[in-house]
C-alpha cells in the first residue's frame, strides 16, 4: 500500500484518498456507512469542504464510529480573514474535531480571486490566525486554474495545492506537479475521472497512480466503487494494451468537446471564467441545484451571458474548442435546468 509525504507538511498518507463530494447525494446513514467503509478499507486521508452541504457532518459521524486515524482536509470559499475563521469553527464543530490537519482556500479561480485571498484582511491571513490558535495544521489552496497555481508555486504562500489531473486533462503533469514537488508543496490530485466524463475508471486509476508523489482523491458514493478503486490501487499500475486503447479512444471522442481547464483561452474581454462555464453540467451533477445559491457560482453564470461570441478565446484554445457555441449551449441547458426541464448529465 504505497504512501506519500505531502511536501514540507510532513503529512504522510496512503496515496488513494477519499473525496467528500458525492456522499452529499446519499441518505445520511448510507453516507456515514460509505465513509466508514472507505476508512476501514485503508484510506487515511479525507478531503471535504464547507461548500459540500452535509459532507463534513457525515464524515464527522463516520469518524466517531471508527478508531482509525485519518488526516482531514477541508476548505472554505470565504475570501476574508473573519469569514474563513468563522468557517473553520463551523468545520471543527461539524467534523467533531478540535484540530483540522489541512485547511484550504477553495476554488481560487482567477488572479483577481488570488489577490483577494492573499491581500491584508484576506482568507490567507485568517488561516494564519487559525494556525496560531492551534486549530489547523497546514494551509492549502485548491484551483482549477493552472495559471493561478503557477503563481501560487512562485509565491510560496501555501503548503499544499489541489489540482485537476487525469488522462483527459494532463497539463498539470508538465506545468504544475514537478514544480510543486521540487518546492516541497504537497500535491492533491482531484477529478481522476474528469468529473465523471471518463467511463473507464480502472484505466484512469492506473494512469494517475503511475504519476509518483501525488495523493489521488477519488470521490465515490458506493462501496462497490471503493472496492474497485482499491483493487487497482493494490495491483500493478502498468498500463495494459487495453488501457492504452481506451485512453486513445476516449481522448479522440472528447477531443473537440472537452475542456481541459488549462486556461490558455484567457483572458476573456468580458471576464468570463470560461472553464467554469464549460464544466458547468458536470459540476451541477456533483453538487446539486442548491449550489446555485452560492454567490460565486451565480456570478459565473451571470458573466457567461455576457459572451459576445468575439472568438478571441478560440484563437488561444489549443484543442480548437468551439467555445462561444459551447457557452451558449450550456446557458440554454442551465436555463432549462432551473425550470426543471433538464437533468444534469
Ligand atoms: S467568445 Fe465569449 S468567452 Fe470567448 S473571449 Fe469572446 S466574449 Fe469571451
Ligand atoms: S476552453 Fe480550451 S483553452 Fe480554455 S480552458 Fe478549456 S481547453 Fe483550455
- Which residue carries 472528447 as its cell? 254
Domain span including residue 8:
3-243
- Ligand 2 near 264 CB (within 6 A): yes
131 falls within a domain: yes
- Measured at the CA of 298, the angle between CA 297 and CA 302, to 5 degrees, comes to 120
**Count: domains in the chain:** 2
Q: What residues are paired with 75 via a beta bridge?
A: 104
- Measured at the CA of 177, the angle between CA 261 and CA 71, to 5 degrees, comes to 100
pTM, to two decimals: 0.86
343 φψ region: left (φ > 0), alpha (ψ -120 to 50), beta (else): beta
Residues 273/112, Cβ–Cβ less than 8 Å = no
165 falls within a domain: yes
On whether both 230 and 324 belong to a single domain, the answer is no
Label the pairing between strands 3-5 and 12-14.
Answer: antiparallel
- Measured at the CA of 2, the angle between CA 226 and CA 62, to 5 degrees, comes to 40
On whether both 223 and 281 belong to a single domain, the answer is no
137 falls within a domain: yes
Last residue of a domain, one of 222, 243, 264: 243
Residues 6+ apart with CB under 8 A from 292: 298, 301, 338
On whether both 29 and 169 belong to a single domain, the answer is yes
Whose CA is closest to atom 8 on ligand 2?
262
CA 252 – CA 254 distance, rounded (Å): 6
Collapse the DSSP code of 189 into the 3-class scheme (helix H, G, I; strand E, B; otherwise coil) and give the result: strand
Residues 6+ apart with CB under 8 A from 313: 265, 266, 268, 274, 323, 324
Beta strands in 55-148 (DSSP E): 71-76, 100-105, 136-142
Number of helical H runs and strand E runs in the chain: 15, 10
* pLDDT per residue rounded down to tens, the chain (345 residues): 899 999 999 999 999 999 999 898 899 999 999 999 999 999 999 999 998 889 999 999 999 999 999 999 999 999 999 999 999 999 999 999 999 999 999 999 888 899 999 999 999 999 999 999 999 999 999 998 899 999 999 999 999 999 999 999 999 999 999 999 999 999 999 999 998 889 899 999 999 999 999 999 999 889 999 999 999 999 999 999 999 999 999 999 998 889 988 888 988 999 999 999 999 888 887 777 778 888 888 899 999 999 999 999 999 998 889 999 999 999 999 888 888 766 655
On whether both 60 and 159 belong to a single domain, the answer is yes
On whether both 64 and 161 belong to a single domain, the answer is yes
On whether both 115 and 52 belong to a single domain, the answer is yes
CA 327 – CA 115 distance, rounded (Å): 27
343 falls within a domain: no
On whether both 225 and 279 belong to a single domain, the answer is no
On whether both 145 and 17 belong to a single domain, the answer is yes
Ligand lying closest to the C-alpha of residue 304: 1
254 falls within a domain: no
257 falls within a domain: no
On whether both 196 and 330 belong to a single domain, the answer is no
CA 7 – CA 171 distance, rounded (Å): 21
218 falls within a domain: yes
CATH code of 30's domain: 3.20.20.100
- Ligand 2 near 262 CB (within 6 A): yes
Q: How far is the CA of 152 from the centre of ligand 1 (A)?
A: 26
Q: How far is the CA of 259 from the centre of ligand 1 (A)?
A: 15
- Ligand 2 near 144 CB (within 6 A): no
- Ligand 2 near 323 CB (within 6 A): yes
Cis preceding-peptide flag for 267 (omega within 30 of 0): yes
Q: How far is the CA of 265 from the centre of ligand 1 (A)?
A: 9
Residues 173/211, Cβ–Cβ less than 8 Å = yes
On whether both 19 and 128 belong to a single domain, the answer is yes
| CA dihedral sign, ordered 121, 122, 125, 130 | positive
- Ligand 2 near 301 CB (within 6 A): no
First to last CA, the chain: 34
255 falls within a domain: no
Mutate to test the pocket of ligand 2, among 260, 279, 282, 300 (most ligand atoms within 8 A of CB): 260
- Which residue carries 456515514 as its cell? 32
Amino acid at each position: 500500500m504505497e504512501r506519500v509525504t505531502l511536501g514540507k507538511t510532513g503529512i504522510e498518507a496512503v496515496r488513494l484518498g477519499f473525496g467528500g463530494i458525492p456522499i452529499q447525494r446519499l441518505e445520511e446513514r448510507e453516507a456515514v456507512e460509505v465513509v466508514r467503509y472507505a476508512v476501514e478499507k485503508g484510506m487515511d486521508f479525507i478531503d471535504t469542504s464547507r461548500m459540500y452541504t452535509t459532507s463534513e457532518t457525515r464524515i464527522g459521524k463516520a469518524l466517531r464510529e471508527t478508531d482509525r486515524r485519518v488526516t482531514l482536509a477541508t476548505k472554505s470559499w470565504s475570501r476574508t480573514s473573519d469569514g474563513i475563521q468563522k468557517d473553520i469553527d463551523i468545520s471543527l464543530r461539524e467534523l467533531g474535531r478540535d484540530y483540522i490537519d489541512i485547511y484550504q482556500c477553495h476554488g481560487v479561480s482567477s488572479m483577481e480571486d488570488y489577490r483577494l485571498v492573499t491581500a491584508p484582511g484576506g482568507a490567507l491571513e485568517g488561516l494564519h490566525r487559525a494556525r496560531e490558535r492551534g486549530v489547523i495544521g497546514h494551509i492549502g489552496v485548491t484551483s482549477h486554474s493552472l495559471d493561478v497555481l503557477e503563481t501560487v508555486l512562485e509565491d510560496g504562500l501555501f503548503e499544499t495545492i489541489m489540482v485537476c489531473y487525469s488522462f483527459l486533462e494532463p497539463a498539470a503533469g508538465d506545468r504544475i506537479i514537478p514544480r510543486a514537488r521540487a518546492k516541497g508543496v504537497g500535491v492533491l490530485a482531484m477529478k481522476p475521472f474528469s468529473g465523471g466524463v471518463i467511463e473507464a475508471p480502472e484505466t484512469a486509476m492506473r494512469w494517475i497512480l503511475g504519476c509518483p508523489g501525488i495523493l489521488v482523491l477519488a470521490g465515490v458514493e458506493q462501496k462497490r466503487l471503493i472496492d474497485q478503486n482499491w483493487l487497482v490501487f493494490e495491483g500493478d499500475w502498468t498500463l495494459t494494451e487495453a488501457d492504452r486503447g481506451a485512453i486513445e479512444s476516449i481522448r479522440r471522442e472528447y477531443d473537440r468537446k472537452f475542456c481541459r481547464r488549462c486556461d490558455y483561452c484567457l483572458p476573456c474581454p468580458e471576464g468570463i471564467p470560461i472553464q467554469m462555464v464549460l464544466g458547468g453540467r458536470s459540476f451541477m451533477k456533483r453538487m446539486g441545484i442548491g449550489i446555485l445559491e452560492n454567490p460565486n457560482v451565480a456570478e459565473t453564470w451571470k458573466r457567461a451571458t455576457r459572451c459576445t461570441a468575439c472568438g478571441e478565446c478560440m484563437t488561444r484554445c489549443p484543442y480548437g474548442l468551439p467555445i462561444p457555441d459551447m457557452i451558449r449551449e450550456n446557458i440554454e441547458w442551465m436555463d432549462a435546468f432551473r425550470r426543471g426541464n433538464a437533468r444534469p448529465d
